[in-house]
Amino acid sequence: VIKCKAAVAWEAGKPLSIEEVEVAPPKAHEVRIKIVATAVCHTDAYTLSGADPEGCFPVILGHEGAGIVESVGEGVTKVKKGDTVIPLYIPQCGECKFCKNPKTNLCQKIRITQGKGVMPDGTSRFTCKGKQILHFMGTSTFSEYTVVADISVAKIDAAAPLDKVCLLGCGISTGYGAAVNTAKVEPGSTCAVFGLGGVGLAVIMGCKIAGASRIIGIDINKDKYAKAKQFGATECISPQDSKKPIQEVLVEMTDGGVDYSFECIGNVGVMRAALEACHKGWGLSVIVGVAAAGQEISTRPFQLVTGRTWKGTAFGGWKSVDNVPKLVTEYMSKKIKVDEFVTHMLPFDKINEAFELMHSGK
């Protein structure tokens, strides 16, 4: 058993608490990882807020991390002690019908137990003050050591800087993949990206790499426009600057609508606007943001009858074990940006400040 520091979420709506936790050794087909760096994501904040129907407490959150394998359980063959790895919230077992189907990346092998906050055998590897602490998204990167299933880990280039590539565990991969895998953005096309946070910037990067000629960034926070342009946005607009609905503004700006639109916020009203900003006949809108529990999307069916397509994406459509190492390689060869996404570096015990910076749009 390893004793280490972790940021424990004891209950919904309360700040994270830095505690000493005990991390049990990995059982069969499990891997224990020393987490070197972790990022914060709105998904962690969403669960912490209490709005997540799957949210269970007490729990160790975090799902954008990178580290070194400390030890492996019986039967683990893909990684060994000392390997550099990224934990994966969408695993890839290679055996289920989802993994065998090239159309999806949504491996279902450990979905039920992962959703309940436990390892595949139904138990937790974390304890604190004599209490069992739950796992989160199969990763729990807000701990100096964590245990994950062996199908939930990608071995990456040992030379990669872990304080950067941890972002490939969720946000950057999700946005980039939404553009290149889910939408399959074509050269010369016009794109609209709603929400210019980390995921939105990654979508812009993907659209640019795919050869889009016009990329319109949309956000009410104008402080984000300069960064969006650095990533490839050709122009940025705020929905608050016009009395007309934003979809009407975009349709007028683009002679009938955009070829591709992306919702990177998790707001069902914006999801509708993103679809309706698409061009009749061929426009495609991708939902990337995660809406709160119980919310529903709506539009007039005529929007779809007249040739628009509505799609969603999870982790950018990447089959995780196969593709995360390739994304790291793309970063190392400067094909994709990662360093530019990092705004602040904080010590682990300032994790609540990191969430405050994220919520304030900084």
Q: Dump pLDDT digits (tens) for 123-181.
A: 999 999 999 999 999 999 999 999 999 999 999 999 999 999 999 999 999 999 999 99
Give pLDDT, residue 54: 79
Q: Dump pLDDT digits (tens) for 21-68.
A: 999 999 999 999 999 999 999 899 999 998 887 789 999 999 999 999
DSSP one-letter code for 182: I
What are the phi and psi torsion angles at 227 (to 5°)? Answer: -65, -45
Give pLDDT, residue 94: 98
| Torsion on CA atoms 82, 122, 54, 126, rounded to nearest 10 | -50
Please give the helix or strand (H or E) that residue 283 lies within, else none: none
Contact 4, 20 (CB under 8 A): yes
Q: Dump pLDDT digits (tens) for 24-36.
A: 999 999 999 999 9
What percent of the chain shows pLDDT beyond 70?
Answer: 100
Residue 8 is encoded by which pair of tokens?
Answer: 């424990």
Give pLDDT, residue 361: 85
What are the phi and psi torsion angles at 77 (to 5°)? Answer: -120, -20
DSSP one-letter code for 241: G
Maximum separation of any 2 CA atoms in the chain, in Å: 63
Contact 285, 259 (CB under 8 A): no
* Domain spans of the chain, in order of start: 2-169+319-352, 174-314
Contact 23, 8 (CB under 8 A): no
Contact 12, 55 (CB under 8 A): yes
Give pLDDT, residue 52: 82
Q: Dump pLDDT digits (tens) for 309-349.
A: 999 999 999 999 999 999 999 999 999 999 999 999 999 99
Give pLDDT, residue 293: 83
Q: What pTM was computed for the model?
A: 0.96
Half-sphere exposure of 217 (CA within 13 A, CB side): 31
CA distance 81 to 243: 59
Contact 182, 155 (CB under 8 A): no
Between 3.40.50.10150, 3.40.190.10, 3.40.50.1110, 3.90.180.10, what CATH number should domain 2-169+319-352 receive? 3.90.180.10
Query: Which pLDDT band, with edges at 50, 70 and 90, does 193 fall under?
Result: very high
Q: Dump pLDDT digits (tens) for 210-249.
A: 999 999 999 999 999 999 999 999 999 999 999 999 999 9
CA distance 332 to 327: 9
Fold of 174-314: Rossmann fold (3.40.50)
Residue 125 is encoded by which pair of tokens?
Answer: 């590897």
Give the 3-state secondary structure of residue 30.
strand
